[in-house]
Amino acid sequence: MLRMDNSNFIDYIKVFCRSGNGGRGSSHFLRTKFTSKGGPDGGNGGRGAHIIVKGNKHMWTLLPLRYHKNILAENGTNGGENNRTGRDGKDIIIEVPLGTIATREDSGESIEILHHDEEKILLKGGRGGLGNSNFATPTNQAPTYAQPGETGEETIVNFELKVLADVGLVGFPNAGKSTLLSVVTAAKPKIADYAFTTINPQLGIVKYRDNKSFCIADLPGIIEGAAEGRGMGHRFLRHIERNAVLLFLIPADSNDHSKEFEILKNELEAYNPEMMDKKFIIAVSKSDLLDEELTEAIHKELPADIPHVFISSVTGKGITELKDLLWASLNP
């Protein structure tokens, strides 16, 4: 079962990072019993440690990063005599949930982790300097010059998690989103008869026929003005950006079903116009509250170009049809 512990859900965090400096190249000359000054034999410095980001499909939060406000990687050690190369710094691997974007504050560059075990270098360790043995030429057989190691990089890094789910649940507070999640997946979200019960995204896996499955994200309710920060605000809208399909939940007892859908759609568009390229499905939730006449009226009122289905998480009505519809939209 996939569950996110609400209290530990962290989807944005800043961390100061520094990769390791390269070790200095050595300037040294071979000494034996018989030669006071033999050839140059200074070895190269070791590489400074990289800071690497790695995807872990079992993680759902950036919380572990909270305990590492500074991530400082090891320096390479200096080169030595007898062409001894310095030791490389030990790379630091930061494990993150899939869907994490790490952005460097200095350059604005971002890397994104989408796959399990995927690794990307966030900050490069400095190269080790070359020892003086590299600089011997026919005309200068005793160079004293050895390179210093390259310094590592340092910057603040912003880690941001955009939950990767196939389907995102979009709706006003109290629309029945969490209840639906609890019915179609093994997740046990908090359900209650007041607005903003859900304050953190929660994921669940829908087991579909023949061992097929897909992932649904239950998100905090959206209200008019969310894109400007009202209600739970835009903080959670970013989790919708990655969903291929958006399932709009409009409760049967809404005063104006099509208007409610328009408001939700406008908020998403105001936040990011690209959201309009996703596939939309409307589910009229709590339809156990409807008789046939009302059902027919709502059916006529809803936009004709968007598929809709009447569901009830209480009676199970329309749930199979909904799963079929979602699967078909995800796998056209």
Q: Does 198 bind Mg ion (CB under 5 A)?
A: yes
Residue 100 interacting entry, from ligand GTP, Mg ion, none, C-beta within 5 to 8 Å by type: none
Instruction: Give dist(CA 133, CA 189) in Å, integer.
Output: 65
Please spell the DSSP secondary structure of 260-301, one letter per residue.
Answer: HHHHHHHHHHHH-GGGGGSEEEEEEE-GGG--HHHHHHHHHH
Select the residue interacting with ligand GTP from 27, 61, 312, 329 (CB under 6 A). Answer: 312
Of the ranges 87-95, 104-112, 144-152, 307-315, which one interacts with ligand GTP (CB under 6 A)?
A: 307-315
Contact window for Mg ion (CB under 5 A) among 41-49, 173-181, 240-248, 302-310: 173-181
Sorted by sequence, the CB contacts under 8 Å of residue 231 that are 6+ apart come out as 173, 196, 220, 221, 222, 223, 225
Query: With respect to ligand GTP, which residue has the nearer C-beta, 118 or 288?
Result: 288
- Choose the one of ligand GTP, Mg ion, none that binds residue 314, judging by a C-beta under 5 to 8 angstroms depending on kind: ligand GTP
Residues 6+ apart with CB under 8 A from 168: 216, 217, 219, 239, 240, 243, 245, 246, 247
Binding to ligand GTP (CB under 6 A): which residues in 189-228?
Answer: 191-193, 195-198, 220-221
Instruction: Rank residues 158 and 197 by Cβ distance to Mg ion and give the closer one.
Output: 197
Q: Which of 113, 9, 115 is nearest to 62 (CA)?
A: 9
- Please report, as residue ranges, which positions from 156 to 185 form the binding site for ligand GTP (by CB under 6 A): 171, 173-179
H-only helix segments in the chain:
63-66, 177-184, 257-271, 292-301, 319-330
Q: Which of 197, 258, 272, 295 binds Mg ion (CB under 5 A)?
A: 197
Mark residues 272-301: x for contact with ligand GTP by CB under 6 A, - for none.
-------------xx-xx------------
Q: For ligand GTP, which is the closer residue by CB, 114 or 186? A: 186
Q: How many angstroms separate the Cα of 196 from the Cα of each of 171, 172, 191, 225?
A: 11, 9, 10, 15
- The binding site for ligand GTP (CB under 6 A) comprises 171, 173-179, 191-193, 195-198, 220-221, 285-286, 288-289, 312-314
- The binding site for Mg ion (CB under 5 A) comprises 177-178, 197-198
